[in-house]
Structure 1
Amino acid sequence: MTQSNTSRQGTSRRVTVVRSSFIASGRGGGQGGASRFFGGPKSRTLGLAGLAAERERAKARLKEIEDSLGVESRKDLADLRREDHPDTDDPLLDAFTMQNDDGDGNWEDEPEAGEEAAALAIRDLLGVRFPGASRAYKDGRTWRQRLQNFDDNWKIVLPDICKAYLQWRYGTPAPKDPEILPATEEFQVLDIYSTATTATITRDRSLIEDLVLHGYLGTAPLHPSLAISFKTLELFRLLRTFKASFSTEAFTKLLCYVYYIPYRRFYRKAIADAFDIYLVILRDVKAQVMSALGRDSDEWRAKNACPACANKLLGEEPPTFDRMVVMDGNNSLKRVLASGGRATADLRLFKDDYFLPRDFVDSFANEVKSRQLPRKPVLAENPHDIEEPGQESEDDEVPDGEGEGDPTDGAEALGSCATNWKAAAADEKKRMWSIYDESGIFASACRHGLILWIADMVRSGELAKYGIAMTAKTNRVLKGKNMHGYDIGCEFLFTIYRSSIGDDFRASGSSFCVNSFHGYSHSYKCQVKYHPNRIVGMGLEDLETMERIFSASNQLASVTRYASPYRRRMLIALYFEHWDDEKYANLGQMLYNNYRQALEIIKEKTPVMQEALQALSLTEEDVHRFEAEEAEYFTNLRDEDPEDLRDILYVEALRELREASEELKDTSARYYDRAARAAEAADAAKAGVTFLTPTSGPTSYDSDLSATRKLETRRRYLRDRVDRLSADVTEIEVRLGIDTRWQPTDEKYVNATKYIATRAYQQALGRLQRLVIQRLFELHKMNLAQTGYKARTYIAKNLQRRCKAIRAAVKAYNTTAGALDPPREPLDWNKASHYNFIEEFHLLADTRNDLRDKPWTTPAVREVMRLSQRVARAHEEIKNVHRELRRVHTWVRDEQELFKAVLDDLKDTNHALHGAVLDYWRRRSVLNTRSMAYVRATYELPEFSGDREPGVRDGPSLLPLHLQGRASMAVSSVDAEVRGTVGDDESNDALLGDDDEADDEMTSLIEYVQNVML
């Protein structure tokens, strides 16, 4: 702003006063920043009157500084000014000293401030005398030191500002010192709701506390020059809660737009620092609330966050599995490592009960050693092998560092499931660049979607140690017989058995299985034992919870990729806290939907199954017997007989020897024929015989000579090859103990020839199986939400190539199938591209006709078996929902009594936490209201056959010990306090009609595959 004063004589004098500004956050310099937040350096032009006023202000400031100096400092200042030393005689002081000459009161001289303090005071004094002087201060500290000092200063004041926040937020009266007269001060503030740039702050405490008591948080702990309103920070928290990808930079640009100022990076830094401290304050308040509720014990959240899993009741029907736990890894939440091997400057550690400590995870490192995919020996070239376009060789695989194994390396032998999983993981490892420090997360959750624990995957892929650590934590904390769902659970189970926790895991009765959707890509031999549809007690649970979680949490990737370790973990924890709240609110809805789905399956599938049984003259006992026979067959199914492989090796060597011998005989005959004709021509030339020109065209002596030499070279090569093959055949005969060489008419030779044809058929079938499974994986990735455009384009191109390769593989399969005795029926492309085709691979692979007389191999019987399993799982889901509905109902009732007792106790004692606990209960009541709406809706279903009354908790009471006497009190007062949370006129139908579109989108793929399988 420019002002000017013009003298009456028409002349004017102007001077521009420039005041420099610093970063508003104060994080770099430690003093708290700028005199102004908006616009950087400020200047104004003064006239004569303005200059006079400026001189008076400078004199007042000079006197203030001089009065604050000690005696020695005043003498030093006088020496600099070349003035006499000031008179320090004080008659009052002399009188006081004379009255104490009796020695009763002895004074101890307090040392003056050091030379550094005096120098700083003199520097400020000179700056006031010469306001136009320019001075630059060079901070010699490193960035890490400045951040550490900044954090240490915040730790000192955090307890006080947390108390002040409770006083401001919930209206708790603050104690005041009657001897201190409050003063007011104008302070630079930022408030998106009022767009004010200054606020009047009443001063009676430290500046940072006074700001908090007025609803503002300073951007520096000691001497802030800018404060941001709590309402603004809360708005940012809510935006980030409901839109995880919303960044600090985006919010800062929004504020700059509202304030009509250009965006600058140090604005973002100031808001980011303040937001960090705001979250720390909220976490401290929540910790106090949880302590008041008696929920501050170790692992309380993991044990009790999901009442459907944890709130066991007296007299309830025991479940098959105490809990169903899912786990998986995800590489979206990576964090880029500092370039050049530099260490991060932000050394803060984010501690939260979501994350497993790194040292705990690393304690299971190297229990499983890395094992590469073995190269299979090729007995003979397969003419029907189709090399897929763009296929990469095994040489391109990048093994994990440190020699640590993946989840499949603990098994004795690699099965087909492990081989396929390794192949898919190898493609990820090729893209796991070394620029990342944390390369993703490995997480676990209950079947209802509430997070249990998270572990950072550090500079590695999905190693075995993460799954072992997660299983060890679950087994130790949750105890009981648990079912763990993992996409490679069939192989990881044996890894667990061979780990350090194997004995404890066996003793608990827990087990592993595969997820429903991932399970369809496993071999049918694996599905018979490990697929959820085949496991008694699983109900309709698909165990694909982690896929839904990661599909949503991928939104965090854009804001965590370049964050510090502290902020990355903070944002992840902030996201999953809100995720758990949403899943808790949706417990009733999930159980309601599962119950209706089970009723629908029973209603629709049972009549169809009964009609099919009647048409096939079967009973349900027959179907169960068929299932047992099928499981036994695939359990005992083994690979090729080693004796057959030896016969194949010998017969193929004989074939090669015979083919090479025949070719040598033919080549030698042609060579000798050409040599004989050349000799006849030479004899005729000597006798003077003239040959006529050939009618077929001109001849060339050079070309004839070249052809003859080629035949000679080929003949020598074949002769050497026959010698080598003869030696190989002889060696095989000696090793196998064969006295007489087999002939093509011998029975063993004929049988081996048939087996070679069968083996070619098996290889073509295996090739087709691998391609279909890869297509299934890619279709799954293609349908995941938040998959980037480049990734979708890459997958789409791969799918196009994969479909062409599948068509070629089908053609090769039909060729080899026709060569069998008897020939197999050809495959159609439409059938091969269907997911049901995966379970038929093992049936098609039966070339010994061991299944020829098995009724359960026919398509009609197999369809009845699938229907029977689906109906059985639906009946199990009915029982599971009955049990979990009652648990949720009981939990909501007990929690209401808990809050009633705690709130009454806090209110009676006028505790500062009363407002915070009441606020927490109001929001918790909204979640409980939504769940109970669906619980009551389930009770009202005509087909409902469970208990509609809450039960009694089997275990310790939710109430703290000192409040258990209040448990029988009425809850009406709490209802009155929270009545405004949900309107009385809001019906259950309105809540039931609030569909979650995001949940529908994430579950559509699973439902589609389940329908296909039926």
Structure 2
Amino acid sequence: MSGKNRSSVSSAINLRYGRGIGRPSLNLVQRPGDSQARQQEAYRKYRERVSGLSYEDQEGYATAGDTGFSLGDLNLYPVPGGEEGTLLSHEGGEEDLCRKLYEPESKSLRHDGRSRRDRTESRNKAWSSQVPTLAKAFLAWKQRKSSGLELPPPEGTLRTWRVLVVDFFASAVASFTPCTPTEDANTTLANHGYLGVAPVFPSTAISFQTLEAYRQLHGACPRLSIQAFCQGLAGLHMDNFRHAVAEQFSIAYDVYNDILHHVDCLSASALGRDRSDWRMHNACAPCLYRLEGEPAQKRVLLASMDGNSSLKLVDDTFRSGDARPDQRTWRTDLFISAEEVDKFKDEVRDAQKKSGPVSVLPAEADVPIGFAIAASTDTAPSATDSAVPLTSASAATSTSARRKRKGRADAATPHVSAPADPTPLDVVDIDGEDEEHGLIIEDTMKAEEPMESTSVCTERWRNAGPEARKKMFALFATTGIFACLCRHGQVLVLCDMIRSGELMKYPLAIVNKIINVYGPEISIALGYDIACEFSKTLGRSSLGARASETVSGVVPAFHGHSHNHRCQLDWHPMYMADVGKEDFEGCERFFSFSNGLAASTRLATAFHRHQAIEGLVAFWSRQKHGESGRFIFNNYRQALKTIEEGERALEVYARDLKTTPEDYERYLQEEREYLRGLMAEPTEFTMKVEYMDALHKLEDARVKDKAAIDNYKTLDYQIIHKGIKGKQITAIKREYRVAQTRLQQAEEAVCRLEETMDIESRWLPDSDEYLKTTLELGQRKYRRALDNLERLVVQRLFELSKLGMNGIGYKLREKIGHALKARAEAIRKALSEYNRHARALVPPRPELSWTDIMEMASVGEFDLLRDARQDIREKPWAQRTHRDAMNAYFSVKRAREEIERLNLEIPRLFSSMIDEHVDYHHAMQQIAPSDAALAHELAIRQQYSSRVNQKVVRWLQKTAGLPGFSGRVVYGQRIGRDPSRLVDASLPHWATRVGGGDGAQGAQGDVDDDPDGDADEDIPGIGIDESSRFVKFVDRLG
């Protein structure tokens, strides 16, 4: 307890006070002094006060307050002995002392339980109770605005208050009067088209039109943040920008989104769209709006999934201040919760424990190739399979080896452990794994796994590697999103990646969600960058049995060219039945658009990040629906062109090569069998190579030993005649000793190998075994030179794709450009090394030129050159002309499948648009008598939908006019839909002008290339100018 003297009382008394846990306390100590002196001083002050008074006044002053009753004999508070002088006079400061003593009793301390930390949560609760009322007022305002009606006058005389209102082009102070005495302030503002920035006493209000303007602009340009928009408003208003305005706008925008969501729920209920998982069942009409009487499809839904690490969220731990509680979360069913995802966090470990091979089926099989029954085309197990917990003797060996490595590491550097207070650059382990179970095990696998145990796809793709490597900096609480989209670009489902890289639990959660929603009736072809490796985990997971019935894996077209050729033959869409010309690269296009949202959400709250993503997906979905007609037209025209050109080429190949379609199918099977038969180097060959290497080392040791002996024998001569001394003499003696030891060690190594290989007589340079193994060594060097060349080409392909990606800044683009130039020089050197070893083979392999490297459509073609132990140059499928013919045949085959799929998608899309019009018609009729404002909202939405659908139908009409069109633009009955809903429902105007479409319009479809005045789509993510610069840059590399 701290204390001090209080100087406001008599100097004869020391007063010490302090504040402890309980009430305030005072300690009084009266110092011993001359009481007579104090009494004399008090009497002097009294005489000064009365000296100017008359005698009568003095007597009256002395007897003032005397009632004739004396309490002298009444001892209510006896004073202890020795303390009688304590209350002798009023002039010694005792009155002030008593006042100070009783002051804490009269002024008790007030505890303020309020906290600014919970003001966000308090504000949210206050707003949430007003949202239904605000939504009703919002709809009423929209109705009055469209019809030109005025707000009813107030009931009686009510208080008018003034608020600063913010519109798009101006801001001013306006007066508002509530309509009823019980109407709250924000409802009054909403009736006039404004929304306050505070739930109770708003001093500023923002118009609904301004909030809607930002919502639409932010959807079209995700980079536009609230702060940037408010800065623009400040410029329009000719005012200074204040950060408080951006915060107020953010609060109002959150409430505005709540109002819109409430209106969406009311509209969905009126339209009958409030059923569970309705959004996913109707996310894409061409894919999911199945009609009665359709031909059966092996794969109904073509989708793709992938992870993206741009939409990160910085952890609150690394931000200044304390995070305010905010219990708000996403509003729609777009996201999968983290709890649902974590159900699969142990699936990889459990899958590794399961033994038994996974069967392999060809991609052209008649039954769906499920993830569960398809395996990687690599014969060796993957890295995830090889990381099975070690047992028996191998476990003891690995444990001792780990201890040795750990001991050496501890001796060299201090032990690294997770810090108690993480820094932004700390690497966090996945799923709570610590250092012992993360980095150490990773080191064990690197040290003890044989080179052949890791598949090529695992080495090339980071997300296909071991789970222990998929770490992320502790700076980020959320490291990105994992998305699943259909082939038309509609987002089906998302999930957050939490404090980790692209773990297997995220695609497992996506697959589980898809299977649960769509069931066994809808078979799905699911594209994934590492579908070949993911199939092993999925096949051995708890989803394996269900996934094998409906889900099949595909490697996307562009990413597939970076897989090895064996993998491509089973997983690339070119060789996958019933997928058409789909490339399964839809996620990359979506990520190219969503990357613009990263800058404004990285430092946001979790709720605002989800809100921004939901808004972006909603805008993206509307955009993709509007482009669905163009998508069908472009794909139909491309497929017809591929068929036309491919059939002409196949006629030439059939005449020159004497081949038939059956030959191309056989070539594919032979190539698959050949590549599957490619194993790692045989153990016998490996031992021979090791023995040859030992012989070379022994011969080298003999030469060096002989030179050391000769040099040592002439040591005296060199000292006398050459004058060597000091270090030179020591070096000669040391080389003499070391050379002898080196020779003994080399001799022992050769003897051990001879005992292991049962070699009775040592190989000599002129022996048959020596010459044969020398040739095989040359082939081994050739294969390694080919590996190096392939690795550089793979890196070049990735960097070229990054160079053409949208959203890359100037500095990064320049960096990639310099890397490509350096890579081009490295490829040239690797090409020279490859050609040197190719010429040394017997028989020599054909050399490659720089043009051959640049024209390779797939790095998988390197695999045809890899196996030098067999001569496949005479195989038809290994020759360039036959391979071109195979590519043309399968391209035409996929194009015909694309036509069949588009002929199903056109009626689905057209029928869904008509049914949507009918649903709006019935909903407005039912809701109009009870809720005119909601009926008006449905009418506005129907009008907008009709405009979008009109554009889609024009593209369908244009598609029907293509020469060779074989489908029909007709209405069909959706499976499970009530046909009576069409009764008494007027058709939209755009539906009455649609013909059957047999291609009779002929060349007219080629003349009118763009009925809407829009140019055809360019390369996804690259504009026209960027495309030309991109092509010129690639040309300069050659």
TM-score scaled by structure 1?
A: 0.75
Q: 1:551–1:1002: 8 Å Cα contact kept in structure 2?
A: no
Deviation of 1:324 after TM superposition, in Å, equals 0.8
Deviations, residues 453-487 of structure 1 (Å, cap 9, x unaligned): 11111221111111111111112212332111111
Deviations, residues 664-695 of structure 1 (Å, cap 9, x unaligned): 123212322444x469x7xxxxxxxxxxxxxx
Distance 2:274 2:111 in 1: 47
Do structure 1's residue 250 and structure 2's residue 232 form an aligned pair? no
Equivalent residue for 1:504, pick from 546, 550, 557: 546
Identity %: 33
What letter is aligned with 1:151?
A: N
Do structure 1's residue 526 and structure 2's residue 526 form an aligned pair? no
Deviations, residues 77-96 of structure 1 (Å, cap 9, x unaligned): xxxxxxxxxxxxxxxxxxxx
Do structure 1's residue 190 and structure 2's residue 188 form an aligned pair? no
Q: 2:169–2:233: 8 Å Cα contact kept in structure 1?
A: no
Q: 2:596–2:807: 8 Å Cα contact kept in structure 1?
A: yes
Once the two structures are superposed, the pairs formed by residues 160-175 of structure 1 within 5 Å of their partners are: 160-171=133-144
Q: 1:439–1:458: 8 Å Cα contact kept in structure 2?
A: yes
Distance 2:769 2:196 in 1: 90
Q: Which residue pairs with 1:361 in the alignment?
A: 341
Once the two structures are superposed, the pairs formed by residues 303-322 of structure 1 within 5 Å of their partners are: 303-322=281-300
Unpaired runs of at least 5, structure 1: 1-136, 376-394, 682-698, 958-963, 980-986
Distance 1:792 1:582 in 2: 28
Do structure 1's residue 236 and structure 2's residue 251 form an aligned pair? no
CA RMSD after TM alignment: 3.7
Q: Which residue pairs with 1:889 in the alignment?
A: 910
Deviation of 1:198 after TM superposition, in Å, equals 1.4
Q: Which residue pairs with 1:259 in the alignment?
A: 237
Equivalent residue for 1:293, pick from 246, 271, 282: 271
| Gap change, CA 1:561 and 1:769, over 3 Å in 2 | same
| Gap change, CA 1:373 and 1:784, over 3 Å in 2 | farther
Deviation of 1:423 after TM superposition, in Å, equals 9.0
Equivalent residue for 1:763, pick from 774, 784, 789: 784
What letter is aligned with 2:734?
A: T
Equivalent residue for 2:510, pick from 467, 470, 487: 470
Distance 1:999 1:289 in 2: 38
Q: 1:330–1:441: 8 Å Cα contact kept in structure 2?
A: yes
Equivalent residue for 1:604, pick from 634, 642, 645: 645
Distance 2:213 2:111 in 1: 37
Q: Which moved more, 1:429-438 or 1:469-478?
A: 429-438
Distance 1:599 1:837 in 2: 24
Equivalent residue for 1:219, pick from 197, 208, 213: 197
Once the two structures are superposed, the pairs formed by residues 142-161 of structure 1 within 5 Å of their partners are: 142-161=115-134
Distance 1:731 1:414 in 2: 29
Distance 1:976 1:670 in 2: 100
Distance 1:541 1:977 in 2: 29
Deviation of 1:878 after TM superposition, in Å, equals 0.8
Do structure 1's residue 268 and structure 2's residue 246 form an aligned pair? yes
Q: Secondary structure at the match of 1:941?
A: coil
| Gap change, CA 1:792 and 1:440, over 3 Å in 2 | same
Deviation of 1:287 after TM superposition, in Å, equals 1.2
Distance 2:760 2:1027 in 1: 60
Distance 1:497 1:518 in 2: 22
Q: Which residue pairs with 2:462 in the alignment?
A: 422
Deviation of 1:299 after TM superposition, in Å, equals 1.4
Q: Secondary structure at the match of 1:884?
A: helix
Once the two structures are superposed, the pairs formed by residues 809-888 of structure 1 within 5 Å of their partners are: 809-836=830-857, 838-888=859-909
Deviations, residues 126-180 of structure 1 (Å, cap 9, x unaligned): xxxxxxxxxxx99874443111111111112222212222222224999999976
Q: Which moved more, 1:733-742 or 1:540-549?
A: 733-742
| Gap change, CA 1:978 and 1:287, over 3 Å in 2 | farther
Q: Which moved more, 1:807-816 or 1:286-295?
A: 807-816
| Gap change, CA 1:177 and 1:828, over 3 Å in 2 | closer
Once the two structures are superposed, the pairs formed by residues 689-704 of structure 1 within 5 Å of their partners are: 700-703=722-725
Distance 1:550 1:265 in 2: 31
Q: Which residue pairs with 1:455 in the alignment?
A: 495
Q: Which residue pairs with 2:752 in the alignment?
A: 731
Distance 1:799 1:431 in 2: 28
| Gap change, CA 1:191 and 1:898, over 3 Å in 2 | same
Deviations, residues 87-127 of structure 1 (Å, cap 9, x unaligned): xxxxxxxxxxxxxxxxxxxxxxxxxxxxxxxxxxxxxxxxx
Deviation of 1:846 after TM superposition, in Å, equals 2.4
Q: Which residue pairs with 2:1014 in the alignment?
A: 994
Distance 1:951 1:430 in 2: 48
Q: Which moved more, 1:254-263 or 1:801-810?
A: 254-263
Q: Which moved more, 1:783-792 or 1:192-201?
A: 192-201
What letter is aligned with 1:238?
A: Q
Once the two structures are superposed, the pairs formed by residues 441-590 of structure 1 within 5 Å of their partners are: 441-479=481-519, 480-508=522-550, 510-590=551-631
Distance 1:494 1:426 in 2: 13
Q: Which residue pairs with 1:345 in the alignment?
A: 324
Distance 2:818 2:199 in 1: 55
Q: Which moved more, 1:751-760 or 1:420-429?
A: 420-429
Distance 2:191 2:991 in 1: 25
Q: 1:334–1:439: 8 Å Cα contact kept in structure 2?
A: yes
Unpaired runs of at least 5, structure 2: 1-109, 353-382, 388-415, 417-424, 994-1006
Q: 2:427–2:472: 8 Å Cα contact kept in structure 1?
A: no
Deviation of 1:373 after TM superposition, in Å, equals 12
Deviation of 1:572 after TM superposition, in Å, equals 0.8
What letter is aligned with 1:415?
A: S
Deviation of 1:849 after TM superposition, in Å, equals 2.7
| Gap change, CA 1:633 and 1:903, over 3 Å in 2 | same
| Gap change, CA 1:301 and 1:740, over 3 Å in 2 | same
Q: 2:428–2:500: 8 Å Cα contact kept in structure 1?
A: no
Distance 2:486 2:804 in 1: 23
Deviation of 1:727 after TM superposition, in Å, equals 2.1
What letter is aligned with 1:463?
A: L
Deviation of 1:995 after TM superposition, in Å, equals 3.1
| Gap change, CA 1:552 and 1:475, over 3 Å in 2 | same
Deviations, residues 352-396 of structure 1 (Å, cap 9, x unaligned): 211111111111113225969999xxxxxxxxxxxxxxxxxxx99
Q: 1:325–1:445: 8 Å Cα contact kept in structure 2?
A: yes
Q: Secondary structure at the match of 1:604?
A: helix
The aligned length equals 820
Distance 1:837 1:596 in 2: 25
Q: Which moved more, 1:882-891 or 1:418-427?
A: 418-427
Distance 1:643 1:398 in 2: 43
Q: Which residue pairs with 1:960 in the alignment?
A: none
| Gap change, CA 1:650 and 1:887, over 3 Å in 2 | same
Deviation of 1:707 after TM superposition, in Å, equals 4.1
Q: Secondary structure at the match of 1:637?
A: coil
Deviation of 1:956 after TM superposition, in Å, equals 3.5
What letter is aligned with 2:121?
A: Q
Distance 1:490 1:331 in 2: 22
Q: Secondary structure at the match of 2:176?
A: strand
TM-score scaled by structure 2?
A: 0.74
Deviations, residues 897-918 of structure 1 (Å, cap 9, x unaligned): 2211111222244554211211
Once the two structures are superposed, the pairs formed by residues 276-291 of structure 1 within 5 Å of their partners are: 276-291=254-269
Q: Secondary structure at the match of 2:336?
A: coil
Distance 1:988 1:916 in 2: 36
What letter is aligned with 1:672?
A: K
| Gap change, CA 1:427 and 1:490, over 3 Å in 2 | closer
Q: Which moved more, 1:774-783 or 1:152-161?
A: 152-161
Q: Secondary structure at the match of 1:931?
A: helix
Distance 2:464 2:513 in 1: 27
Q: Which moved more, 1:142-151 or 1:870-879?
A: 142-151
What letter is aligned with 2:681?
A: E
Deviation of 1:749 after TM superposition, in Å, equals 2.8
Q: Which residue pairs with 2:475 in the alignment?
A: 435
Q: Which moved more, 1:395-404 or 1:881-890?
A: 395-404
Deviation of 1:222 after TM superposition, in Å, equals 1.2
